[in-house]
Amino acid sequence: MSRAEVEARIAEFIQSLPKTETHLHIEGAVPWELLQETFPGEFDFTPEAWAADFRYHNFTQFEDEILSYAGRYYTSPERYHESAKHVFQRHLDQNVRYVETSFHLGIVEALGATGPDILDAIKSAVPEGLEVRVFLGMLRDHYRDDMAKLLDAVHTWDGLDGIDMHGHETIPWGDWTADIWRNVHEAGKCAKAHAGEFEGATDVNRALDLTKSQRIQHGNGAIQDESTFRRLLDEEVVLDMCPVSNVKLKSVLDVTKHPIREFFDAGVKVTVSTDDPTVFGNDLVHEYDLLMTHLDFSKQEVIQVVRNGFDAALVDDQTRRMWLDELATIESQL
């Protein structure tokens, strides 16, 4: 069998699986065709960052790239709605059943819009056949001025499924985080946090201490410290990981060295997502393909990663069982 045939069969297998996306920034996913349609003539090119060998110089360059797209496009709740419609259709096209996405407080602040308006715009774009949970993301220094008042009340927002901490890991964690995350937990919502992508195990521990969360976005750095690694297992923490993002941002120097393999082998629950697909040029099939072609994941192991996503999903037990039964049927036919 030729290499092309092998690659085609892998892609076909991955496409056949019902899947989850548990780490997606809506601003970093603005569809390229919408940019071309909205700004005629300005985006008639293929982004350099979509090349497989592309690497960002640093996190600031990456943020500037997002802002050059998202900062221009997202100027109203209506734009969020239109973008979300396209993004969610792509998920359906890839046989995705469940999505967790976040919108960023910095854009809310810049627009002068209310968070609930943007939340409603995204949720009203959810198509039949897809379950979507929407989170508000913020920076570690966002608790200031009017944003502090907003964050003190965010746990009361109807329809908001949770919160997430985004942004530069070099910004110190504020003690205010513990209060906001506790309010959200007590309101029955999900509270996640980005940690350990660049700053290592210390950052992961700080996030776990402050947020009491069982959902860490990235978390790569936990691999550097045995006690932190053990903590993930003991506290049953789920790592929502993004291999392509990590490689292109150079938090992992080579995909074959990505720690997802070690986490998985040790029993840490890991999921796979795209993070910011417009900025990295990736999709979910691409992410799972890397697991199989560069990290020696078998079909059964890929199914377990998918299963982890459904186990973490914020759905009722009947819905979860339906998805897990579908996976079990596929696995039994391998």
Those residues whose C-beta lies under 8 Å from the C-beta of residue 146, and which sit 6 or more positions away, are: none
Based on the number of CB atoms within 10 Å of its own CB, is 89 exposed (0-12), middle (13-18) or buried (19 or more)? middle
Neighbours of 153 (CB within 10 A): 11
Asked if pLDDT for residue 102 goes beyond 80, the answer is yes
Q: Please give the model's pTM, rounded to 2 decimal places.
A: 0.96
* Phi-psi region at 117: left, alpha or beta (left = phi > 0; alpha = psi -120 to 50): alpha
Instruction: Using the CB atoms, write b or e for 187-198: b if 16+ within 10 Å.
Output: eebbbbbbbbbb
Asked if pLDDT for residue 80 goes beyond 80, the answer is yes
Name the active-site residue from 21, 82, 100, 197.
197
Q: What's residue 316's pLDDT?
A: 97
Average pLDDT over the chain, rounded to whole? Answer: 95
Average pLDDT over residues 254-278: 96
CATH number of the domain that residue 216 is part of: 3.20.20.140
Whole-number CA gyration radius for the chain: 19
What length does the chain have?
334
Count of domains for the chain: 1
Least confident of 2-11, 13-22, 184-193: 2-11
Asked if pLDDT for residue 3 goes beyond 80, the answer is no
Asked if pLDDT for residue 121 goes beyond 90, the answer is yes
Q: Which amino acid is at 276?
A: D
Q: What's residue 18's pLDDT?
A: 97
Q: Which amino acid is at 100?
A: E
Average pLDDT over residues 288-297: 96
Q: What's residue 279's pLDDT?
A: 95
What does the pLDDT look like over 208-224, one tens digit per residue? Answer: 999 999 999 999 999 99
197 is catalytic: yes
What's the rounded Cα separation, in Å, for the pair 148 and 144?
5
Q: Which amino acid is at 120?
A: D
Asked if pLDDT for residue 7 goes beyond 90, the answer is no
What does the pLDDT look like over 166-197, one tens digit per residue? Answer: 999 999 999 999 999 999 999 999 999 999 99
Structural domain including 144 reads 3-332
